[in-house]
Structure 1
Amino acid sequence: MSSLFPALTSAPDGRAALRFGERSLTYGELAAAAGAVGERVRGAGRVAVWATPALETAVAVVGTLLAGVAAVPLNPKSGDQELGHILSDSGPALVLAAPGDELPGPLAGLPRVDVDVRAAGPASADDGGPGDAALIVYTSGTTGPPKGAVIPRRALAATLDALADAWQWTGDDVLVHGLPLFHVHGLVLGILGPLRRGGSVRHLGRFGTEGVARELSTGATMLFGVPTMYHRVAEALPGDPELAKALAGARLLVSGSAALPVHDHERIAAATGRRVIERYGMTETLMNTSVRADGEPRAGTVGVPLPGVELRLVEEDGTPITAYDGETVGEIQVRGPNLFTEYLNRPDATAAAFTGDGFFRTGDMAVRDPDGYVRIVGRKATDLIKSGGYKIGAGEIENALLEHPGVREAAVTGEPDPDLGERVVAWIVPAEAQAPPTLEELAAHVAGRLAPHKRPRVLRCLDALPRNDMGKIMKRALAHD
């Protein structure tokens, strides 16, 4: 029996495991196809997976894990330089891909194995120990080439079981999502999560509100998405009663990978009666916190630490912050079985990422409410603004700006100021390009909602904010505009 996916051998005959569009596999079929992959890659050390949003990717990763081998998911949209770096750094023995997929130049020298989702192979009884590498997932590389985070098998099990506790996630749940499969959110939570529970997943291939409505109205119980997806949902709801009805019937709507603006939270709740809950994680830590299914779904927070996760906030000098006042900002540090073991081939970066007592330095800044709920206010490098002696988080100002009717999108950064140290800069996409709100109007709006020292001092209007594949705003690109 697989220690990660016991349902592969214990699920009832005919139980659905995976569905991508019109193609699907039962648990029995998945066990057979993954077993065939496992037989082919056993002993390979590391295996690259061309991670398209397809049935073959899921089978490839499960089969690799069954063989006790580490999978290296590759983003099909990566450029040749990034792919070349990942391949030379991770040294995979071969690449798994769907038949017919055209692979780019950097992969030409690597042996290729096509994944046959109808193949049959023996299920492995030995799929590795808790500390063995399961996945090597490359970070986005905002400060140099991407680093390979080595995620052990125990971290997958720990994070998925902690989420099962927080979300009351069972084998009866049917998850729908349209996320890419080369990162933790789409692959670990979206594919491996349902399989560990013995439930099923329906992948949309490409996200669309029509697909969400169809799946949630025909048996799906949960939806995972990123803020861009929920923004599209919020925009579509007023003219789509079927979507509203489908979302209203969902057991759980979960957003992650970036903060979901409060404005979108409120629009979805008003139209459906359902609250989106948020969780907080990283490639290196998997999941750290979440709003619980049996807790208060409070917009603007990522809930409480998950079972087994130790979380603390610290000052710049590392002194722990004991206040639960909703105001004192500190860096989040975490410790627990959910953490990665190292950055591949980067002992220097690994050592710098951890404190002497084993906590991982996330680089995320947050405050804690009196009841322990964590509110993230931004990244230490790009979202913490030190102005007039105050530490200001960009996130809460962005939420306040988005509540203004004249603002469609918003981002906040800091820039040097001779008097304040740093001044708050608001970058907005106006709701009406011909009549954008004024700086004075937005400054008064923010000062009235938050505090005068948090008001923007500079306003810059754009046609669109620069975003990455996950919909996250790229603040560094703004700073260099």
Structure 2
Amino acid sequence: MSSLFPALAAGPDGLRPALRFGEHALTYGELRAAAGALGPRLAGARRVAVWATPSAGTAVAVVAALLAGVPAVPLNPRTGTRELAHIVADSAPSLVLAAPGDDLPAPLAGLPRVDVAPHARGDGPDARPPAEPGAEAPALIVYTSGTTGPPKGAVLPRRALAASLDALADAWAWTADDVLVHALPLFHVHGLVLGVLGPLRRGGSVRHLGRFTTGGVARELAAGGTMLFGVPTMYHRIAEALGTDEDLTGALAGARLLVSGSAALPPSDHERITAATGRRVVERYGMTETLMLCAVRVGPDGAARTHRPGSVGTPLRGVGLRLVEDDGTPLTAYDGETIGEVQVRGPNLFTGYLNRPDATAAAFDGDWFRTGDMAVRDPDGSLRLVGRRATDLVKSGGFKIGAGEVENALLSHPGVREAAVTGEPDADLGERVVAWVVPADPAAPPPAGELADHVAAQLAPHKRPRAVRYLEELPRNDMGKVMKRALRG
């Protein structure tokens, strides 16, 4: 029996639905057979690269690698040639797994290729895979975004996958009866680990939309889907469609659990979705190196036990979490105001950056991992993120100002469609708050002074933007996160 996927054991559950990607659907028995057919071709591989398109083949490839005990390196098909060449050279995979017919770019041309057929069969449904390695063995090597240099490969051990997914099951009452719907990319931990490996570990099923559409969400949730995973961009589109799409409204109202992650969901979208459907979107917090750290807890009926927009919940089972000052001194305040850097430890952490002992050492304070995220803790112990230390903490006039809270205040103005906040040097204040705004009506953007007064009235005068710059759209990456380093004066 697989230690990661007990439901893949031969038996009566073989007919249970496991995966569906468009016309490609696999039962647990068919997934076991397809992974078993691929497994022998991975024998002796040091690592395998996976061309991670949103397809059943990607899921089969990763499951086969995990069953065979071979670390998988998921590759983003949209990665540029230079960055992809770095990842391939750094991870040195023995071969690349791809769907038949996929055109692979030049950096992969020198690797032996294995085409993954989702419905292939091995020697029989009861063919046994090799013995799995121990809990500390590498399972996945996932490359970070590389905002301050070339991407680094975070080595995720098998125990991190198991610990994080089991802690989420505890927080969300996630069971084999759940059917997850999502359209997230499969080269990242959100879409791959949570969105594919999570259902498989529970013995449930996943329906991947291939490409996000509100119609696809409505169709799959109405046809038995119980959970929806998405990023804020997706939920924003859902919120905008709810006023005119009764099918979507009904489908969301019938879902057990709606989860948003990878970035903060604006309060306005929370409110619109809840008002239309009666369901609350819950948020969670994690990152590549740590998998999941916190989550808003829900009961079997999907009702959040405690919830407020902006909260990512309390630490998951097994996760140690603290906030620290700039000098590393732990903070004890649970006042919802005192900002500190999040540091964490626990079985969900990665083992290090591949080939980068220097970067690994710099990322830890003893056995505490420095996330680089800034947050406050509310009296009930829940965490509210205010931004990244490098790009979202503005030190202005002696105050620490989190970009996230200013962004949420701006988004509550009816004339603002999207907003991002950064800091820039100021001779008097040290740094000043700068707002980047996409107006709801480009022909009549809200005046800068009006926006500054709006923020000051909601938060505090020292948190108001000192400059407002208008854009047609905010620069975002594949996960919908705003790329603030692309914002320049």
Whether these two folds match at TM > 0.5 is yes
Determine the structure 2 residue equivalent to 1:197.
202
Please say if 1:350 is aligned against 2:360: yes
Residues 114-133 of structure 1: matches in 2 within 5 Å?
114-121=115-122, 122-124=127-129, 126-133=131-138
Using the TM superposition, give the Cα deviation of residue 43 of structure 1 relative to its aligned residue in structure 2, in angstroms. Answer: 2.2
Determine the structure 2 residue equivalent to 1:141.
146
- SS of the residue corresponding to residue 15 of structure 2 reads coil
Determine the structure 2 residue equivalent to 1:280.
285
2:381 maps to amino acid: G
Determine the structure 2 residue equivalent to 1:52.
53
2:228 maps to amino acid: L
Which segment is superposed worse, 45-54 or 35-44? 35-44
1:2 maps to amino acid: S
Find 2:258's aligned residue among 248, 253, 258. 253
Preserved contact between residue 170 and residue 198 of structure 1 (Cα < 8 Å) = yes
Find 1:320's aligned residue among 312, 330, 349. 330
Residues 467-478 of structure 1: matches in 2 within 5 Å?
467-478=476-487
Which segment is superposed worse, 413-422 or 158-167? 413-422
1:333 maps to amino acid: Q
Please say if 1:183 is aligned against 2:188: yes
Preserved contact between residue 304 and residue 372 of structure 1 (Cα < 8 Å) = yes
Preserved contact between residue 42 and residue 68 of structure 1 (Cα < 8 Å) = no
1:222 maps to amino acid: M
Determine the structure 2 residue equivalent to 1:71.
72
Using the TM superposition, give the Cα deviation of residue 311 of structure 1 relative to its aligned residue in structure 2, in angstroms. Answer: 0.3
Preserved contact between residue 448 and residue 468 of structure 2 (Cα < 8 Å) = yes
Residues 85-100 of structure 1: matches in 2 within 5 Å?
85-100=86-101
2:216 maps to amino acid: G
Please say if 1:337 is aligned against 2:351: no
Using the TM superposition, give the Cα deviation of residue 125 of structure 1 relative to its aligned residue in structure 2, in angstroms. Answer: 5.0
Preserved contact between residue 51 and residue 57 of structure 1 (Cα < 8 Å) = yes
- SS of the residue corresponding to residue 338 of structure 2 reads coil
Find 2:309's aligned residue among 299, 310, 315. 299
Preserved contact between residue 14 and residue 30 of structure 2 (Cα < 8 Å) = no
- SS of the residue corresponding to residue 239 of structure 1 reads coil
Give structure 2 stretches of 5+ with no counterpart. Answer: 300-304
Determine the structure 1 residue equivalent to 2:295.
290
Residues 103-252 of structure 1: matches in 2 within 5 Å?
103-121=104-122, 122-124=127-129, 126-252=131-257
Using the TM superposition, give the Cα deviation of residue 414 of structure 1 relative to its aligned residue in structure 2, in angstroms. Answer: 0.7
Using the TM superposition, give the Cα deviation of residue 14 of structure 1 relative to its aligned residue in structure 2, in angstroms. Answer: 1.3
Render the CA deviation track for 1:143-183: whole Å, top value 9, x for unaligned.
Answer: 01000000000000000000000000000000000000000
CA distance in 1, matches of 2:259, 2:79: 27
Using the TM superposition, give the Cα deviation of residue 75 of structure 1 relative to its aligned residue in structure 2, in angstroms. Answer: 0.4
Render the CA deviation track for 1:349-407: whole Å, top value 9, x for unaligned.
Answer: 00000112x01000000000000010000000000000111100000110010000000
Q: Percent identical across equivalent pairs?
A: 76
Please say if 1:2 is aligned against 2:5: no
1:56 maps to amino acid: G
CA distance in 2, matches of 1:128, 1:418: 57
1:3 maps to amino acid: S
Determine the structure 2 residue equivalent to 1:422.
431
1:13 maps to amino acid: G
Render the CA deviation track for 1:402-444: whole Å, top value 9, x for unaligned.
Answer: 0000000000011111111111111100111111111111111
CA distance in 2, matches of 1:374, 1:286: 16
Q: What TM-score do the two structures reach when normalised by structure 2?
A: 0.97
Using the TM superposition, give the Cα deviation of residue 39 of structure 1 relative to its aligned residue in structure 2, in angstroms. Answer: 1.5
CA distance in 1, matches of 2:379, 2:251: 35
CA distance in 2, matches of 1:300, 1:29: 41
Which segment is superposed worse, 437-446 or 201-210? 437-446
Count of matched residue pairs = 479
Residues 392-411 of structure 1: matches in 2 within 5 Å?
392-411=401-420
1:93 maps to amino acid: S
CA distance in 1, matches of 2:30, 2:132: 18
Preserved contact between residue 160 and residue 347 of structure 2 (Cα < 8 Å) = yes
Determine the structure 1 residue equivalent to 2:302.
none
Superposition RMSD in Å: 0.8
CA distance in 1, matches of 2:475, 2:120: 43
CA distance in 1, matches of 2:398, 2:12: 59
Q: What TM-score do the two structures reach when normalised by structure 1?
A: 0.99
1:289 maps to amino acid: C
Preserved contact between residue 11 and residue 27 of structure 1 (Cα < 8 Å) = no
Please say if 1:385 is aligned against 2:390: no
Find 1:263's aligned residue among 263, 268, 286. 268
CA distance in 1, matches of 2:128, 2:4: 13
CA distance in 2, matches of 1:186, 1:309: 21
Using the TM superposition, give the Cα deviation of residue 18 of structure 1 relative to its aligned residue in structure 2, in angstroms. Answer: 0.2
1:336 maps to amino acid: G
